[in-house]
Structure 1
Amino acid sequence: MFTRNVVDNVLNNSRVESAIVTVATDLDAAASLPGQEHKAISKVKQKARAFLQEMVANISPAFIRLTGWVLLRLFNGFFWSIQIHKGQLEMVKKAATEQNVPMVFLPVHKSHIDYLLITLILFCHNIKAPHIAAGNNLSIPILSTLIRKLGGFFIRRRMEETGDGKKDILYRSLLHAVKELLRQQQFLEVYLEGTRSRSGKPSTARAGMLSIVVDTMCTGSIADVLVVPVGISYDRILEGNYNSEQLGKPKKNESLWGIACGVFRMLRKNYGCVRVDFNQPFSLKVTDCRFISAFIQKNYSCCGHMRSFSRFQLSLLILKSANKSSAIMSTHIVACLLLYRHRQGVVLSKLDVVMRALHLLGNCVNVTSSSNRNGEFTIAPSQTVPALFELNFYSNCLFHVFISDAIIAESESDHPPDGLSSLPLSQERLIRKAAGLSHFLVNEVTVAPPCQTIYQVFHDAVTRLIQYGVLYVAEEDQEELSPSPTEEPWPKKFPEPLSWRSDEEDEDSDFGEEQRDRYLKVSVSPEHQEFFVFLQRLVSPVLEAYSGAAIFVHSLSQPMAESDYTQRLFRYLLTRTERGVAAYGESATHYLVKNTVRTFKELGVLKQRRENEVTTLELSSTFLPQANRNKLLQYILGFTLL
C-alpha cells in the first residue's frame, strides 16, 4: 500500500536528470566552466526535490481512519444520506483484487467534498486509498499536510512558462512522479475537468494527466491500467452556489480560515442526499470500444498532433461516461421543470413535486397561496438573477439526458409553435440541421461520444421521439421540400469555409443515403406539444446568449483586450437581463459568456493576437463585412428562442 522512494526514483530518472542539466545550464552560464557545473546542478536538483515534496502524497492509514470517523459525524450533520451501490463497490473491489494492475478513478467534479467522499468510501470498503491529483491552489499551510496524509498531492493547474517565455521543462519532467506511482501499482484519482463545474454541466475535459497514464502503459512501464469513471451527484452542493463567479467576480483564493468558516456555516444547514456511482472498471489496453483500441494501436505511429487529439477524445469518452452514470437528484428535476416547463408557476396539485427539493432550493423558489384557486399553493421560480443562475446550475445536471432530443426539437424551429404539425419535416434535413447546431454548440455539450457518429446519435433521437409519439411519420407527404437558409451546411454560408465544421459531415455524408428519407410531423396532442416546447426551451438560454454575443460583436470596431471584451459582453448580457429584454435571465452567466467568446474564436469570427503577454481580439477579415455578421446572427435566430 505504501509508496517506496518515489522522490529519489524520480530524481534518478534519466529524463529528469537531463532536464536538470538543461535548466542548470540555461540559468547559470557559468555552469559550463570547470568546477561550477556541479554546483549549478545541485541547486536545480534541490529545487526539483522541493517540487516533488508537493507532488508526492504521504498516505497514513491511521489518519484516514481518524478522518473517516470525524467525517462520518460531520456528514451526518450536512447530509440526509450518502448513497452508494453495494454491487458497484463489490465489482470495483473484485477488479482491484484479481488484477494486479493500477486503478485510476476518474470522477466528475462538483465540489471540494468529492476528494473526501471517494477516499472515505473506498477505505471503508477495504479498497486501497488512491493518490489524489489536486490543484496547487489547495496547497495551504497545515491543510496541505493533512491532505497529503489522506492521499492528496499537488500539481500546477497550468504548466506555466518561465520568465523568458520558455516552457518549464523541469516541472514537466517531474510529472514522472505519476508514472512512478503507477509503476508501484498505486491507485490514482484524477479529475479530468481540472476544476469544479460552475455550470452544473461537465467542464471541458483536459487530457494532461490521462496522457501521462496512457504514456506509462504504452512505454511498457506497466502492463495495463483499469479505468473507473465515477459519477457524483448532490441534492445541493456544500459550496452553496457559484453565483459570485457567475456574476463576473474573481474567484476567492482558498484559505484555512475560509475553510473553517465554511465548515461552521455548513453545520447550520442541511444539503440533502449525495449519491456516488462507480462505473464498471475497464482495461485501457483491452476494451470493447473500437475507438480506444485504435487509439492504443496507433498512438506511437501517428504524428504528435493526432496523438494529442486521440487522448483528448479518450478523456471526452471517459468524462461522458462518468457524467452519464451520475444520478439525477430531486433538486435537478424540480429546477428543470420550474425553469423550462412551468416558468410562470404551477399549482402543487398539477406538479408532483418533491417537497424536500423545494426546501433545499430555498430562496430560488417562490411559494404563494392563491384564494381564487381554492387555497392551493403555487410554486414558481424566483425571477432574481442569482436565483435564476442557481436554478440553472441544478437544471443543467439534466442537460445530458435530453440534449440530443432537445437539439432535434430546436432544429424544427422554422415552424411556429401554434402550427408545429402543419408542415412535414424531412428527417434527413432535420438531422443535418441538428448536426450543424451541435457543432456550433460544441463548447456547451458533447452530444456524441468519440466512438459514435453525430448522425447516428440524432437518428436515434428521432426514432426515440417517434416512439414517444411526439413525432410521427407523414406517409402522404413525400414530395421534396426546398431547404431554408438555416438548413444550409454552415461552411456554405460564408466565403471562407470553417474547416472544423465540415470534417464529420464529409466522413458521414452518405449516412442519409443508406435509407429512404421520410417526412415527419409533430403530434397535435397537447401533451406531446407541451413536451416538444419543453425540449426547445432547454437549449433556448444558450442560444439567447449566443445571439446576444452575435449582436454585441457589431460593436467591436477596433482591437480590444480579450479580458475587456469578455467583461463588456458580460455587462451587455446582464443589462439585457436586468431590464427584462432577455427572455432567459440565466443566459447571462459568466461561463456562457466565456464559451461564446471561445466559440467565436474557433469559428473564425474573432481573430486572436498575443502581444506583450496581452491577448487582443478583433474581427476576422471574413466577418468585417456587416452582411456576414448578420448571417451569423440570422443563423442563430433561425432556431426558436421560446
Structure 2
Amino acid sequence: MVHEKNDGKDKDMILPLIQQNRPALSWEFKIKKRLKTVPSCLGKFRPLVGQCCHQCTPESLRKKLGQTSLGFQNLLSVNETHTRYRGWLVRRVCSALFVSGCKVHASPAGNRLERVSQSNRVKEALTAAPEGGDGRGQLSHLSPLLSLINTCISPGFLRFLSWVMLKMFSSVFGSVQVNLNHLPPLHRASEEGSPLLYVHVRQSAADSALIPLVLFCHNLRVPYSVCPLHITSFFIRSVLQKVGVILLPPSAPTEQDAETDGLYAPVMTSLVRELLHEGQALSVGVSAASGGGGRWLARVTQLIKEGSVPDVRLVPVGISYDRVPETDAEVGLSSVFWWLWSLLWTTPEGSVRVHFAQPFSLKEMCESGRCRADEWLPLQDLLLPVILDNRAGCVFGRRRMSWLLPSSRCASEPDEAPRHPEGDLAVSVVLHLIFSAASCTAVMATSLVSSLLLYRHRKGVSASALSRDVSWLTEELLFRNKDVGFGGSLEAVVRYSLALLFPHLIVAAVSSRKDPFIAPHPSLAATMHLHLQAQVVTHAFILEAVGACAVSAMLCEVVRSGGVSSRVRSDGVDGEQVSGDMEFDVMLGQSELTERALQLCHLLPPGFMPPCQSSQSFALDAIDSLVRCGILIMEEIPREVHICDFWKKDGALSWTTSDDPYRSDSDCEAEEQELRSYKISRPSQCPEMLFFLCGMLAGHMRALCWATGCLDLLPAPLPEVEFVAQVHSHLCDAANQKKQHYESCSKEAARTAVRSLIDLGVLAEERRRGEGVFLSVAPLFQSPENRKKLQRFVSQYLFN
C-alpha cells in the first residue's frame, strides 16, 4: 500500500516485514545487503481504479469517485481513537466499544414469508408441483425453504459476530486495507434510494465475510450475503441466518443441486424481489470457472426487465490476498472448532486489500441497449471451420457462454432458456461484473513475485535480478492503470514477498555466492500456489499475452516452413531464459497476425476480455500493445493511394481514406496488397519478454491440449462430474510424467478445458431423465485425424 504523508490515516500502510520475534534467516540478511544499491521506485503514483464502463453506463460514469487524498485504512487497527472514550480500560475493550457504536440497519423478517408465498411465480410453481393441493397443502412444500425466507439481520447478533470476525481476522491477516476513496460514492448511492448489489469473484469463504464487515465498520447497510458453502451444523446455520446470510437448503450440497428443485428458483426470485423492495443490499460471489452465483444476478436482471424493481446499483468489489486462505466446501461444527483452535497457534501473515468500484445502474445497462449480446455465436461456429481446414478465414463474433448461467430446471429437462435474449443479457451482465471485479483488484506483492518466478525465471534467478524485475513490473502495472497492494522500499517489498512465499521456493544462500539464488519449488502444491497468485497479473497483461501468443504461433509456422534466416530455439517450451542471440529475418502480416489473436480470444476463459468490446477490436488492440511495449515494429508499405485498412475481412473493422470523395466501398472489395507488416524489435533481447507473456496463457492452453489427447482413453458416455474428474486425473498424470507444468492440472483447468471441448463440439451432451448430463466424444472427433488437428491448433500457442 502506498504510504501517503498528507495525513495520519495511512500509518499502517507499510507492509509488515519479517516478524521481529522470529530469528531472521541468513538469506534474508544477504538479500538486505544486496538490495541496498537498488533505488526505491514504489509509492510515487497511484492510479484511479474502479470507474464504471464508459460504453455501457455513461450516465453512471459522470458521478465520479471520491477525492484522491483519503488514503487507506487498516480495518483491524482499532484503538481508542475510534471510540468516544479514553483511558486504560478503553484501550483493552476498544474493539467492543467500536462495534457497539457502529450504525446498524436492522432488517426483521416480518411478514416476508406471507409475501413470498403470495407471489404469482411461487403460486404457479406450487400448482405445478406434484401432489400440489390448495392452501396449507401447498405451503407444506415450502418447509425446506422456510429458514431461507426468514433470514434476517439482528442488531445484537450482527454486533457480536462483527466483533468476533475482527478478532478472527486479526489472527489470520496482518492487515485488511480499505480504499477510503471508494466509500463516499457508496454513501451517496445508498442515499439515492436504489438498493446496492455487491458482486465479487469467489476466491475463499473469507470474501463473503469481509464485505459485510467493511460495510458495517463504515456505517453502511450490511447486505444479505449469498453463501455457496454447504453448512451442516444447525447451530451455525441459525447464527448465520440472523446476520443476513442466505444459505443453501440443508439437502443441497451445491448450488446446482439446489437449482434442480422446481420450487427453489421461484422462491429465491420472490425472496430477492421482497428484499429489494425493502431497500436491502445484497452481496453475491461469482465463479468464472463454474458459473456459480450467476443465477442470482440473472434473478435481479429479470426483476429489472419485468419492472418489478425500479433499479439496482451494481458495485463490483475487488479483494486481493497476499495468501488466499483455504476453505472447505462443507462446513460443520467440528471443522469450525478445529479451525478456531488452530488460530491460537497461527501467526498472522499477509494482508488483504478491498476495493469497491464505482456503483452503476443495472437499469441503464439493460435498457440502453449498449450491453448487447446479439453477435454471440457457438464456439464451434467460430473455430471449427478453421480447425478442420474447411476455410482459411475466421468467423467474427463473440463466444456464447450460456453455461455461466446454470439451468434452474431439472436436469432431465432440456434447457433452452440461455439462448433466449433475456438469458443472453443476463450472461452479459455476469461477464461484465466478473471483468469489472477483476479489473479493480489490486496486485499484491506476492502476486507480482509469483508471476516473475513462474513465467520468467522458472529455473531460478538471483535476488538482485529479481528485484530489478519487481521494479520494472511494478511500473508496467501502474502504466496500465492497475493498482498495487504494497508500498515502501523495494527491499521491504521483496523480502516480505519471499517470506510469505518461502514454503513454495528454493532459496540457496551460501557464502560462495554474492547473491542468494531463488527458484520456485518444482512440486504440484508450490506451482499451483504460485499460479493462483499470479492470475491477477495475467489479467493486467492479457492484451500483451494474447498478442505474444499470436506472434509465437506465426513464428512456429515460419520455422516449420523454413522461412527464418538463423537458428530459432525449438526445445524451450517451459519459458526458460534464452541463451544466445535470435535473429529473425521475417515479416509478419497484419491480417494473419490479427487472425491468430482473434482465434485465441475465442478460447480465453471468461473474465479476461471486456464483454462490451468486440473480439476483433480486442485482437487489434492485442497486436497494437506489442508495438507499444517495443516487441514489434510496424512497417508500412508505400502505395500510390493511401488506404488505411485495418484488417479487411467480412464484417471486420475496415475503412478507407482517400482524396477522392467519390471513392466507393466497392473499390476495396478486390484483393489488395498488405498495407502493414511487423517485425520483431531487437530479436536478441525480446524473446525473454515474449516467452514471459506467452507463459501467462500456457497453463490454460496446455490443459486444453492434454485434455484433447486423453479423449480416446476415457470410457464413454460418462456423467459430467465424473468426466471432469477423469480428465483432471489424466492432467495430473501428464504433469507428473513430465515433472513440470503443474499449473495445467488444477480442477479449474480441467473444468474449463471440458467446457471448451463441449462448446467446440468435441464432446456431445446427452441429458438422461433422472441421471443428469452425460458426456461422450462427438462422432466428428472420434477420428484420430480430427483430434490431431485440434491438438495442432491449440499447441501452436505454446511457443514450441
Change (3 A) 1:191 1:573: closer
Opposite residue 469 of structure 1, the aligned amino acid is G
Opposite residue 141 of structure 1, the aligned amino acid is F
* Distance in 1 of aligned mates of 2:363 and 2:632: 42
* Distance in 1 of aligned mates of 2:785 and 2:701: 20
* Distance in 2 of aligned mates of 1:593 and 1:293: 30
For residue 356 of structure 2, the aligned residue among 264, 278, 281 is 278
Q: Which secondary structure state, in structure 1, belongs to the residue aligned with residue 465 of structure 2? A: coil
Tell whether 2:555 aligns with 1:397.
no
* Distance in 2 of aligned mates of 1:528 and 1:391: 24
1:299 is matched with none
* Structure 1, 524-533 or 451-460: larger mean CA deviation: 524-533
1:9 is matched with 115
8 A Cα contact 2:648 2:654, kept in partner: no
- Displacement after TM superposition at 1:287 (Å): 5.0
Deviation string, structure 1 residues 577-599 (Cα, Å, up to 9, x no partner): 223x2652221222212222221
* Distance in 2 of aligned mates of 1:148 and 1:534: 47
For residue 66 of structure 1, the aligned residue among 156, 160, 179 is 160
2:601 is matched with 438
* Distance in 2 of aligned mates of 1:260 and 1:177: 32
Change (3 A) 1:639 1:513: farther
8 A Cα contact 1:103 1:187, kept in partner: yes
Deviation string, structure 1 residues 88-118 (Cα, Å, up to 9, x no partner): 0111111111x11211111222111112211
* Distance in 1 of aligned mates of 2:299 and 2:723: 36
Tell whether 2:298 aligns with 1:135.
no
1:105 is matched with 198
* Structure 1, 44-53 or 620-629: larger mean CA deviation: 44-53
Opposite residue 552 of structure 1, the aligned amino acid is C
* Distance in 1 of aligned mates of 2:681 and 2:206: 45
- Displacement after TM superposition at 1:219 (Å): 2.8
Tell whether 2:536 aligns with 1:536.
no
Deviation string, structure 1 residues 49-94 (Cα, Å, up to 9, x no partner): 5413223422012322222223223322221211111120111111
Tell whether 2:412 aligns with 1:412.
no
* Distance in 2 of aligned mates of 1:433 and 1:19: 49
Change (3 A) 1:179 1:615: closer
* Structure 1, 609-618 or 82-91: larger mean CA deviation: 609-618
* Distance in 1 of aligned mates of 2:608 and 2:583: 25
Opposite residue 256 of structure 1, the aligned amino acid is L
Change (3 A) 1:594 1:632: same
* Distance in 2 of aligned mates of 1:426 and 1:67: 61
Change (3 A) 1:289 1:262: farther
1:609 is matched with 766
Change (3 A) 1:399 1:138: farther
Change (3 A) 1:215 1:593: closer
Tell whether 2:616 aligns with 1:455.
yes
* Distance in 2 of aligned mates of 1:574 and 1:228: 38
Opposite residue 66 of structure 1, the aligned amino acid is F
Tell whether 2:531 aligns with 1:373.
no
* Distance in 2 of aligned mates of 1:569 and 1:307: 33
- Displacement after TM superposition at 1:510 (Å): 2.5
Deviation string, structure 1 residues 518-574 (Cα, Å, up to 9, x no partner): 111121165533211100111122222222222222435764555554444333332
* Distance in 1 of aligned mates of 2:649 and 2:311: 32
For residue 236 of structure 1, the aligned residue among 312, 319, 323 is 323
Opposite residue 461 of structure 1, the aligned amino acid is A
TM-score, normalised by the number of residues in structure 1? 0.82
* Distance in 1 of aligned mates of 2:305 and 2:198: 19
- Displacement after TM superposition at 1:150 (Å): 1.8
Opposite residue 466 of structure 2, the aligned amino acid is L
8 A Cα contact 1:205 1:312, kept in partner: no
Point out where structure 2 has 5 or more consecutive residues left out of the alignment. 1-104, 375-416, 471-493, 556-567, 570-580, 640-646, 658-673
Higher relative contact order (CA 8 A, sep 6+): 2
- Displacement after TM superposition at 1:328 (Å): 0.6
Deviation string, structure 1 residues 210-254 (Cα, Å, up to 9, x no partner): 1221222233333211111111111112227xxxxxxxxxx6621
Change (3 A) 1:426 1:370: farther
Aligned length: 573
Change (3 A) 1:216 1:640: closer
* Distance in 1 of aligned mates of 2:199 and 2:261: 27
* Distance in 2 of aligned mates of 1:461 and 1:553: 32
* Distance in 1 of aligned mates of 2:618 and 2:347: 42
Opposite residue 170 of structure 2, the aligned amino acid is N
8 A Cα contact 2:547 2:597, kept in partner: yes
Tell whether 2:516 aligns with 1:423.
no
Deviation string, structure 1 residues 576-626 (Cα, Å, up to 9, x no partner): 3223x2652221222212222221122111223344616443332212322
Change (3 A) 1:265 1:361: farther
Tell whether 2:314 aligns with 1:227.
yes
Opposite residue 651 of structure 2, the aligned amino acid is S
Tell whether 2:744 aligns with 1:587.
yes
Q: Which secondary structure state, in structure 1, belongs to the residue aligned with residue 710 of structure 2? A: helix
- Displacement after TM superposition at 1:202 (Å): 6.4
* Distance in 2 of aligned mates of 1:524 and 1:473: 13
* Distance in 1 of aligned mates of 2:420 and 2:548: 36
8 A Cα contact 2:453 2:520, kept in partner: yes
1:339 is matched with 454
8 A Cα contact 1:291 1:451, kept in partner: no
Note the 1:16-27 alignment, pairs <5 A: 16-23=122-129, 26-27=130-131
Note the 1:478-497 alignment, pairs <5 A: none
The structure with the largest helix share of the pair is: 1
1:43 is matched with 137
8 A Cα contact 2:601 2:619, kept in partner: no
Tell whether 2:762 aligns with 1:600.
no
Q: Which secondary structure state, in structure 2, belongs to the residue aligned with residue 238 of structure 1? A: coil
For residue 524 of structure 1, the aligned residue among 661, 666, 682 is 682
8 A Cα contact 1:202 1:323, kept in partner: no
TM-score, normalised by the number of residues in structure 2? 0.67
- Displacement after TM superposition at 1:295 (Å): 8.1
1:318 is matched with 433
8 A Cα contact 1:332 1:395, kept in partner: yes
8 A Cα contact 2:212 2:222, kept in partner: yes
8 A Cα contact 2:122 2:263, kept in partner: yes
Change (3 A) 1:304 1:380: closer
* Distance in 1 of aligned mates of 2:371 and 2:710: 45
Tell whether 2:499 aligns with 1:359.
yes
2:207 is matched with 114
Tell whether 2:778 aligns with 1:620.
yes
For residue 177 of structure 1, the aligned residue among 260, 264, 271 is 271
- Displacement after TM superposition at 1:372 (Å): 4.5
Point out where structure 1 has 5 or more consecutive residues left out of the alignment. 29-36, 194-200, 241-250, 297-301, 479-504
Q: Which secondary structure state, in structure 2, belongs to the residue aligned with residue 474 of structure 1? A: strand
* Structure 1, 558-567 or 83-92: larger mean CA deviation: 558-567
Note the 1:301-312 alignment, pairs <5 A: 305-312=420-427
1:495 is matched with none
* Distance in 1 of aligned mates of 2:353 and 2:733: 38
8 A Cα contact 2:632 2:678, kept in partner: yes
1:348 is matched with 463
Opposite residue 621 of structure 2, the aligned amino acid is D
Tell whether 2:240 aligns with 1:147.
yes
Deviation string, structure 1 residues 489-536 (Cα, Å, up to 9, x no partner): xxxxxxxxxxxxxxxx99973325668741111211655332111001
Opposite residue 316 of structure 1, the aligned amino acid is L
- Displacement after TM superposition at 1:169 (Å): 3.1
8 A Cα contact 1:605 1:619, kept in partner: yes
Opposite residue 230 of structure 1, the aligned amino acid is V
* Distance in 2 of aligned mates of 1:253 and 1:595: 23
8 A Cα contact 1:238 1:266, kept in partner: no
* Structure 1, 306-315 or 129-138: larger mean CA deviation: 129-138
- Displacement after TM superposition at 1:364 (Å): 0.7
8 A Cα contact 2:273 2:309, kept in partner: no
Q: Which secondary structure state, in structure 1, belongs to the residue aligned with residue 626 of structure 2? A: helix
Deviation string, structure 1 residues 171-208 (Cα, Å, up to 9, x no partner): 22212011111111111111232xxxxxxx76546531
* Distance in 1 of aligned mates of 2:635 and 2:717: 52
Q: Which secondary structure state, in structure 1, belongs to the residue aligned with residue 310 of structure 2? A: coil
